[in-house]
């Protein structure tokens, strides 16, 4: 029996599915996070692709990989802790980083990401790159 996520084929199938979702959501002004495997440096990461209006805003790898019982993800995935690089996925060159924050231009106090202590003032001071609706911010550690 084959294990479900051990090869390049599975990552490419997920990338094709993501490409279709990006195409289907091109005109939708909503922030969506969806999970998929992303291969980088011969390792497979369990990632959330954060997308909006057909664009990938960033890829956030899972950092805490369960290693017990039926949740033993360590069989397939590497931890994304400390990962801060960029990759090309669906012909888009985007950041692959464990500590990204996505803030809303229309609602400055709204931010989505793993740093829940970030304040609206800190988001506004960062001067993020302008994307449609949502901006991508990687705060300093």
Tell if the pTM clears 0.85, that is, is over it.
Answer: no
List the pLDDT tens digit at each of the 141 positions of the chain.
344 555 566 678 999 999 999 999 999 988 899 999 999 999 999 999 999 999 999 999 999 998 887 778 888 899 999 999 999 999 999 999 988 888 888 877 788 876 544 455 555 554 444 334 454 444 434
Q: Where does residue 129 rank: exposed (0-12), middle (13-18), buried (19+ CB within 10 A)?
A: exposed
User: CA-to-CA distance for 11 and 103, rounded, in angstroms?
Assistant: 28
Look at domain 8-137 and name its CATH class: alpha beta
């Amino acid at each position: 029996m084959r294990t479900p996520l051990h090869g390049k084929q599975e990552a490419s199938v997920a990338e094709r599915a993501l490409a279709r979702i990006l195409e289907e959501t091109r005109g939708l002004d909503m922030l969506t996070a969806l999970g998929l495997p992303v291969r980088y440096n011969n390792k497979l990461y369990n990632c959330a692709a954060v997308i909006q209006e057909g664009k990938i805003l960033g890829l956030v790898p899972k950092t805490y990989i369960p290693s017990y019982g039926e949740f033993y993800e360590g069989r397939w995935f590497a931890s994304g802790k400390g990962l801060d690089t960029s990759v090309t996925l669906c012909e888009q060159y985007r950041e692959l980083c464990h500590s990204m924050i996505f803030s809303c231009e229309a609602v400055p106090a709204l931010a989505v990401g793993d740093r829940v202590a970030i304040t609206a003032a800190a988001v506004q001071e960062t001067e993020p790159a302008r994307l449609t609706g949502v901006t991508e911010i990687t705060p300093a550690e």
